[in-house]
Amino acid sequence: MSEIKLLGRVFINANILAVSGLQIGGSGSGLEIGGVDKAVIRNPLNNRPYIPGSSLRGKMRSQTEKKLGLPQNNRVGQATIHTCKKPEEYQKNGGCPVCVVFGVPASAEAAFSQPTRLVVRDALLSDDSAKDLDNANTELRFAEIKTEITIDRVTSAATPRTIERVPAGALFGPTELVFNIYEKADYNRLKTVIEAMQLVEDDYLGGGGSRGSGKIRFTDIEILARPSENYSKPIHFHNFDTIQELADSFADLQKWLAENMPAE
């Protein structure tokens, strides 16, 4: 493989709005403080819930895999994801859109794989939302308790479970999605990221999606870039209210990248 040179980085800065209650665990051991069966993940320093970048990224990846109909052939923790196992597979049609953008898991890191293009940061609960939730007197700090009934498929017995959720309307962020540009084909690969964000908006984040939880929306989107040529001077593309607006401007964004981070 030829040498890999970073041409620059694109930053998608955005807030994430919980349109419905958000239930991103935490462990579900039933030993959580407050006695809930499933707790949300929190920052131990201030007890505020947050959206781990790995959760958002994982969902973006799995949605992209499904959209492209790629085989989910690699078990990583609790999830089964698609991973190219052979160089021919990885390089096919100019590069596997999933493995090149989202990377191959460290356990399967293969000699043929290039550096991962996408980094997704954690999204922290905004100060305004933390203040609002403190004033709202929810059952648990910054969270509500939702009771769901699960039906045992064998015995038909109904068991109530208590689920901790971040209430609808909470705002997380700003968070940052960083996309590394190494070659010309990466201008177009950025589209995979934007579409993955749309796919997640139309699906759900965290648990309880089929029960209405986890609808999110990206808001207050800002596109910046740092060309390697002049890395300390970030350049600004545009602000967008929605991912759809960003997607609609993709051709212009591609052109802008080609002008500002030209590949030889």
Q: Given the rule CB under 5 A, which residues bind Zn ion?
A: 84, 96, 98-99
Q: Which uninterrupted H or E stretch holds 87?
A: helix 87-91
- Nearest residue to Zn ion, using CB? 96
Q: How far is the CB of 4 from Zn ion (least distance, A)?
A: 18
Shortest Cβ distance from residue 124 to Zn ion (Å)?
31
Helices 53-68 and 185-202 sit at what angle, rounded to 10 degrees?
Answer: 100
How far is CA 19 from its chain centroid?
16
Cβ atoms 181, 6 nearer than 8 A: yes
Q: Which positions ≥6 away from 157 have C-beta within 8 Å?
A: 151
- Residue placing its CB nearer to Zn ion in the complex, 33 or 76: 76
Backbone angles phi, psi at 111, to 5 degrees: -60, -25
Nearest CB to Zn ion, comparing residues 97 and 214: 97
Closest separation between CB of residue 109 and Zn ion, Å? 13
Minimum CB distance to Zn ion smaller for 74 or for 162:
74
Closest to 76 measured CA to CA, from 51, 101, 102, 94? 102
Other beta carbons within 10 Å of 123: 23
Please state the closest distance from residue 193 (CB atom) to Zn ion, in A: 15
Distances (CA, A) of 262 to 15, 186, 199: 29, 11, 29
User: Which CB sits closer to Zn ion, 85 or 161?
Assistant: 85
Which lies closer to Zn ion via its Cβ, residue 96 or residue 125? Answer: 96
C-beta of 213: minimal distance to Zn ion in Å?
A: 30
